[in-house]
Amino acid sequence: MVQTVLIVEDERMVREAVSSYLRKQGCQVFWAENGKDALDIFKKEAVTFVILDLMLPDMTGEEICTILRKRSRVPIIMLTAKTQEEDILNGLRIGADDYITKPFSLKQLYARMEVILRRTGDELKPLSQKFSWNADDLVVDFEHREVYKKGKPLNLTPSEWKILSALIRHPQKVYTRDELIDLVFDSDFSGYNRVIDTHIKNLRKKVECNPKSPVYVRTVHGIGYKFGGEEE
């Protein structure tokens, strides 16, 4: 499982155990011991999974979950020492994908993560590979950060590369405009929907045969964008 996991947990023992277990499974791991650091990391890194403790020194896990949900559909598992149904239901209501009650086994946590990823169909493409679509019509080389259209290298801007590579790495995922804004800009902009639309338009001019009926950078009406090419 190739995931970039953010662990938000102030108990060092739990944090270290989860970190080292997930690293052994091939995940990249970031951790934070409070809410502020967690939100900073989430903004800077391309986090694909969040494991979130409910009781933190500066904020509650519920508060963090609510903030994350406003900007992202990243899978979230809550860690809770509370066993009251009320707390669990509230966690799920504000957008956590699952919860696990402490003490828990690392194997069980990992199994729950896999279930969520299967359910969301959100298996990540590895970063170090080359992918091609439609008889090499489009080739994306992650290792060298190069994109070819009909054999010719494309000159993508950094923003276009960020958008295209994110869409390709999460082939099942529909990105909202807000998520793309988070990817492209490094801070809290708002009202940048039109800028994203412009990047998408320019990207389509480069990668699509007919930008008016795109086969790669597809629009999902009312939600956002996803990658739609059939891979060979």
Can you give the binding site for Ca ion, defined by CB under 5 A? 10, 53, 55
Shortest gap between Cβ of 117 and Ca ion (angstroms)? 25
Q: How far apart are CA 146 and CA 180, in angstroms?
A: 20
Instruction: Kindly report the backbone phi and psi dihedral angles of residue 138, in degrees, each rounded to the nearest multiple of 5, phi listed first.
Output: -125, 130
Which lies closer to Ca ion via its Cβ, residue 59 or residue 215?
59
Q: Which DSSP state fits 223? A: T
CB of 83 to Ca ion, least distance (A): 15
C-beta closer to Ca ion: residue 84 or 190: 84
Q: How far is the CB of 12 from Ca ion (least distance, A)?
A: 10
Measured between alpha carbons, how far apart are the two ends of the chain, in Å? 22
Residues with Cβ within 8 Å of residue 97, at least 6 apart in sequence: 75, 76, 77, 116, 120
Write out the two tokens for 95.
């957008």
Nearer residue to Ca ion within complex by CB, 55 or 124: 55
Report, in Å, the least distance between residue 143 CB and Ca ion: 39
Nearer to Ca ion, 9 or 122 (CB): 9
The residue (of 35 and 229) whose beta carbon lies closer to Ca ion is: 35
CB of 33 to Ca ion, least distance (A): 9
Cβ(30)–Cβ(8) below 8 Å: no
Q: For the beta carbon of residue 64, count every other beta carbon within 10 angstroms.
A: 27
Q: Facing residues of 100 across strands? A: 79
- Please, which residue, 34 or 120, has the CB nearer to Ca ion? 34
Q: Closer CB to Ca ion, residue 14 or residue 183?
A: 14
Q: How far is the CB of 102 from Ca ion (least distance, A)?
A: 9
Rounded to a whole number of angstroms, the minimum distance from the CB of residue 148 to Ca ion is 48
What amino acid is encoded at 158 in this protein?
Answer: P
Cα–Cα distance measured from residue 119 to residue 175, given in angstroms and rounded to the nearest whole number: 17
Beta strands in 35-192 (DSSP E): 49-53, 76-80, 98-101, 130-133, 138-141, 146-149, 152-153, 175-176
